[in-house]
Amino acid sequence: MSKKGKPKICICLSGKTIEENLRILERYRAVVDYVELRADCLEPSERFNIRSFPEKAQLPCILTIRRKQDGGNFEDGEGVRLVLFAKALSFPKPDAKANYAFVDLEDDFRTPVIEEACHTFGTRIVRSHYFHDGIPENFGAAYEQIAQEDDEIPKLVVNPQSSADFIRFLEWAIRVPKREHLLIATGAYGIVSRVLAWRFGSMWTYASPLHSGMEIAAPGHFDPFDLRNIYNFDLVNEQTELYSLIGQHSILASLSPYLHNKAFREMGKDALLVPTPVDSFADGLKILELLGGKGAAITVPFKEDVLPFLAFHSTDVKRIGACNTLVRRGDAWAGYNTDADGFERSLLEFLGKQDLSGCRATIIGAGGAAKSIALALFRKGARCLVLNRTYSAGRDLARKYNFLYSHLDDRASDLISEYSDILVQATSVGMREELDPISFYEFKGSEVVFDLIYHPSKTLLLKRAEEAGCRVLNGYKMLCYQAAGQYKLWMDEPPPDIYAQLEQPKFS
């Protein structure tokens, strides 16, 4: 954690001109602490103007001229790079703000003349080492190598290829003695090291101005506004209680961190939900435990994999056979499921009803999500038809509640017509592509159509249903209400209204 007690953000500017970089910096000035000029991204003619950048930026600046082999754009050779560094660091001005505060020099770029200039003029050296392809066994030795000088800031960057790789890095990073350093894991597997840079003892986290249309400077960067507004960078501290969102890479598009972290902020909770993309639930749990986390939200496809790890299963977990919420109880984990309640609340609210007796509904899908929907519809008295691509899975789910079942193809058309008060789409079809799992079915216009997908906010199915005159609903409210249930379990108090009030953000 940095001196002022809150984590710092360094914005990486990779524009083609100094002017473009400064224009973008203006939009972010209020939310960033440091600026990195990626001089290797500048047009060659602009590179000769880098000396003037700190004075114009008026924030502590880091100069980086990243070589091609280290993931940057600089290809003109070490001689030219040396000249550029020398030019940028020379002629120091009395006002320190007009000089570079830091310069990023790779481990193999040991140039006494540049180092001398840095020492004389008060520019601190960030001594970096990159592992671009995975994490070798002896990566700790590379850190020892770059951490030799007390006045330098060692920066180790690794690129985990799996969640197991990331766990190795995390286990090491937790043990390494704290000092001013930067420990970064890139890409989706390394997200935790960026959102929780402060837990790694990193002096700052690097971010890219993505909302301003600038290219991402390194894989895994967030936009600085998201670090402030979604990950509460202005609030979190060493005592902050951590919760994980455990799922596959698709969780990076999830709105759960946005919702929960807004609620934590609003209620003054010193807590944070962090997305943890992993290859297996066991890896997600390991990361959660290494971070000392208090709970987790679990999503596709791990809601069933979590069951063997639970010391306590709630009634809904037992009935549904899936768990979406973990709560730490002493040394063990208790598992709950808030999906059925979240679905029920959003559907009844939409319909303006208290129960569904007399309603006939079709459930499309028989996976984890569909299992929660089936329980909720059963509890509220609806009679249902289950359609699934894999016939046996649809049959098994339907039999639990004495529902009808059928194939997910045009053989089901007439049956859907009979069970068409409410249609619930609970497969992943339509999430990534414009696909409609019941394209064979012609809407009458009287159906209520509920697609659990909220990203995109209107799937092809919902568009088609709406055009036919149906009332349609996506999964955003269900997400909010199942999240409200998670808050209640984690905080042991009623959830704030924010879960019911927050509109679906435009970006989803």
Smallest CA-to-CA distance from 480 within 497, 461, 456, 455 is with 497
Nearer to ligand ATR, 104 or 451 (CB): 451
Residue with tokens 């960067």: 221
Nearer to ligand ATR, 160 or 365 (CB): 365
Smallest CA-to-CA distance from 377 within 446, 438, 450 is with 450
Q: Listing from the earlier edge strand, what are the strands of the sheet with 9-13?
A: 182-185, 153-158, 124-130, 102-106, 61-64, 34-38, 9-13, 205-207
Q: Interaction with ligand ATR in 367-386: which residues (CB under 6 A)?
A: 367-370
Nearer to ligand ATR, 350 or 391 (CB): 391
Minimum Å gap between C-beta 112 and ligand ATR is 59
Number of H helices, E strands in the chain: 18, 20
Minimum Å gap between C-beta 456 and ligand ATR is 16
Residue 353 CB contacts under 8 Å (≥ 6 apart), including other chains: none
Name the DSSP class of 291. Answer: T
DSSP, collapsed to helix, strand or coil, labels residue 371 as helix
Nearer to ligand ATR, 323 or 498 (CB): 323
Q: Give the type of residue at 265.
A: R
Nearer to ligand ATR, 259 or 369 (CB): 369
Residue 99 CB contacts under 8 Å (≥ 6 apart), including other chains: 54, 89, 92, 93, 121, 122, 123
301 interacts with ligand ATR by CB under 6 A = yes
455 interacts with ligand ATR by CB under 6 A = no
Nearer to ligand ATR, 59 or 393 (CB): 393
Minimum Å gap between C-beta 259 and ligand ATR is 18
Whole-angstrom Cα distance, residue 170 to residue 220? Answer: 16
475 interacts with ligand ATR by CB under 6 A = no
Nearer to ligand ATR, 152 or 316 (CB): 316
- Helix axis angle for 339-351 and 368-379, nearest 10°, is 60
Whole-angstrom Cα distance, residue 264 to residue 446? Answer: 40
Strand 34-38, strand 61-64: pairing: parallel
Structure tokens, 55: 């004075």
Minimum Å gap between C-beta 255 and ligand ATR is 15
Tell me which residue has its CB nearest to ligand ATR. 367
Minimum Å gap between C-beta 320 and ligand ATR is 10
Q: Which position among 8, 269, 303, 371 bears the catalytic label?
A: 303
240 interacts with ligand ATR by CB under 6 A = no
Query: How many residues bind ligand ATR, per CB under 6 A?
Result: 19
428 interacts with ligand ATR by CB under 6 A = yes
Minimum Å gap between C-beta 370 and ligand ATR is 6
Structure tokens, 21: 């970089």
Q: Interaction with ligand ATR in 120-159: which residues (CB under 6 A)?
A: none
Minimum Å gap between C-beta 471 and ligand ATR is 23
Of 51, 66, 303, 328, which lies in the binding site for ligand ATR, with binding defined by CB under 6 A?
303
Nearer to ligand ATR, 194 or 303 (CB): 303
219: preceding bond cis by omega (within 30 degrees): no
Of 184, 377, 429, 448, which lies in the binding site for ligand ATR, with binding defined by CB under 6 A?
429
Nearer to ligand ATR, 50 or 423 (CB): 423
Nearest 10 degrees: CA dihedral of 191, 196, 201, 202?
60
Q: Interaction with ligand ATR in 351-370: which residues (CB under 6 A)?
A: 365-370
Q: Residues of 16-50 as b/e, b for ≥16 C-beta within 10 angstroms? A: eebebbbebbeebeebbbbbbbbbbbbeeebbebb
Minimum Å gap between C-beta 289 and ligand ATR is 24
300 interacts with ligand ATR by CB under 6 A = yes
321 interacts with ligand ATR by CB under 6 A = no
Q: Interaction with ligand ATR in 388-427: which residues (CB under 6 A)?
A: 388-390, 393, 408, 426-427
Contact (Cβ atoms closer than 8 angstroms) between residue 261 and residue 273 = yes
Contact (Cβ atoms closer than 8 angstroms) between residue 9 and residue 34 = yes
Contact (Cβ atoms closer than 8 angstroms) between residue 255 and residue 508 = yes
Cα-to-chain-centroid distance, residue 170? 17
Minimum Å gap between C-beta 322 and ligand ATR is 7
Whole-angstrom Cα distance, residue 385 to residue 474? Answer: 20
Task: Reply yes or no on whether 303 is catalytic.
Answer: yes
Q: Which residues are at the interface with ligand ATR (CB under 6 A)?
A: 300-301, 303, 365-370, 388-390, 393, 408, 426-429, 437
Q: Could you give the residue numbers annotated as active site? A: 303
